[in-house]
Structure 1
Amino acid sequence: MTTNITRPDPDHSNTEKDPDTWVTGDEPMTGAQQSYLATLAEETGQTVPADLTKAEASSLIDELQTASDRAG
């Protein structure tokens, strides 16, 4: 018996989801998000609110990465 494993189509991957559709998006941001935001805020001279949700933190990370030239 042969099993064929196919790679997912990168255009239809579920590895990147819109934070607005996250089931846990309204939970408080994670420690990792908070730490990374602190680094990005320092690099960009921005202030980051301490009470962000996971979804808000993710969106702000994307924004600050672009401002700090860390965009991937």
Structure 2
Amino acid sequence: MTDVTPQAQPDEQPDTQGETIGATGDAQDSTLEKDPADWVSGDDPMTAAQRSYLDTLAKQAGEELPADLSKAEASQHIDRLRSDSGQG
């Protein structure tokens, strides 16, 4: 999972004409993706959604992971496990 932060100013709408989100599975603008190590909240504990998804992926991969991961660590494991399973 990646942390996506809008680049536009609060009053300014980004130019999204022709872009899509969702079903394509790929972000149209890779500049919006941040390395989890650079997240402001990356050191916070993983979210409940991350924990649930990571639990599912780890079980499918036959792995055990620590339950006290940060948001950034959880995101990196999710990306790795998805890639290893061919989902990412």
Alignment TM-score > 0.5, same fold? yes
Tell me the C-alpha RMSD between the 2 structures.
1.8
Residue identity (%):
51
Unaligned 5+ segments in structure 1 are none
Residue deviations 1:50-72 (CA, integer Å, cap 9, x gap): 0000000000101111112211x
Structure having the larger proportion of residues in helix:
1
- Residue pairs, 1:17-36, within 5 angstroms: 17-36=34-53
The corresponding residue for 1:10 is 29
Aligned residues: 65
Q: TM-score, normalised by structure 2?
A: 0.66
Alignment of 1:1-72 (within 5 A): 6-7=15-16, 10-12=29-31, 14=32, 16-71=33-88
- Unaligned runs of at least 5 residues, structure 2: 1-13, 20-27
Higher strand residue share: 2
Q: Distance in 1 between matches of 2:30 and 2:68?
A: 33
Higher CA-based Rg: 1
Distance across 1 between alignment mates of 2:67 and 2:30? 34
Runs of 4+ more than 2 Å apart: 5-9
TM-score, length-scaled by structure 1: 0.79
Give the match's secondary structure for 1:24: coil
